[in-house]
């Protein structure tokens, strides 16, 4: 996260913003995985590649969520950003069958997390729902995800706010 805070953010194109946010996603997943690994037993550590994939999906959701509800941007700006974000993700995940399957999984995760936002009554319920769903997707009934999900969601908010358009 330190790298990201040092980057100049004024005058970036949508493409540059998305590239920086995707770079940040990789950094956050790596840092979170390293921290999480210290708290996992041997059986859980064997699931770390799956956990990293799910952390990536969750953080992508969080970035998209915060960008879309940010009030400093018009609906047209949000649409353009969303299209560019999606295009970068398709390129990142690749066009091979495995990449296409990952992109499909990402879309399923976005829908699942969006349903939590829609159904939750209040932040506590939403954060608990995110933690439980992330734990489920990781295939690990670990209470750490109840803390991890709100932390990642907040990091995504900070990243999006750093690109807040001044009016």
Q: What is the mean pLDDT of residues 56-60?
A: 95
C-alpha 114/C-alpha 32 separation (Å) is 22
User: 9-22: buried (b, 16+ CB within 10 Å) or exposed (e) per residue?
Assistant: eeeeebeebbebbb
Report the residue count for the chain.
167
Dihedral angle computed from the Cα positions of residues 74, 79, 80 and 81, in that order, rounded to the nearest 10 degrees: 90
pLDDT digits (tens, 9 = 90+) for 73-104: 888 988 998 899 988 888 888 777 777 888 89
| pLDDT of res. 101 | 86
Residue 111, Cβ density class (10 Å: 0-12 exposed, 13-18 middle, ≥19 buried): exposed
Give the pLDDT band of residue 1 (cuts 50, 70, 90). very low
Q: Where are the domains of the chain?
A: 13-161
The Cα-based distances of 55 to 82, 122, 130, 134 in angstroms read: 20, 23, 11, 8
Say what the pLDDT of residue 84 is: 92
To the nearest whole number, what is the mean pLDDT of the chain? 85
Stretch 1-7: mean pLDDT: 43
Q: Looking at residue 116, what is its pLDDT? A: 95
Beta strands in the chain (DSSP E): none
Q: How far is CA 66 from CA 33, 93, 153, in A?
A: 22, 22, 9
Helix (H) or strand (E) holding 93: helix 75-93
What pTM does this model have?
Answer: 0.87
> Which pairs count as long-range contacts for 101-107, CB under 8 Å and 24+ apart, including other chains?
102/53, 105/53, 105/57, 106/57, 106/60
Q: What is the per-residue pLDDT across 108-150, written as a single tens digit (0 to 9) for each?
A: 999 999 999 999 888 889 999 999 999 999 988 877 888 889 9
Residue with tokens 């950003």: 81
């Amino acid at each position: 996260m330190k790298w990201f805070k040092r980057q100049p953010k004024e005058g970036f194109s949508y493409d540059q913003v998305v590239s920086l946010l995707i770079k940040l996603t990789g950094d956050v997943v790596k840092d979170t995985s390293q921290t999480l690994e210290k708290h996992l037993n041997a059986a859980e550590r064997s699931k770390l590649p799956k956990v990293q994939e799910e952390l990536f999906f969750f953080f992508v959701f969080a970035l998209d969520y915060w960008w879309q509800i940010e009030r400093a941007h018009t609906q047209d700006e949000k649409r353009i950003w969303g299209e560019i974000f999606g295009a970068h993700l398709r390129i990142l995940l690749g066009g091979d069958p495995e990449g296409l399957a990952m992109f499909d999984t990402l879309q399923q995760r976005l829908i699942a997390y969006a349903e939590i936002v829609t159904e939750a009554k209040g932040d506590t319920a939403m954060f608990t729902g995110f933690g439980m769903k992330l734990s489920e997707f990781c295939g690990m009934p670990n209470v750490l995800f109840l803390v991890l999900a709100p932390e990642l969601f907040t990091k995504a908010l900070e990243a999006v706010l750093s690109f807040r358009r001044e009016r």
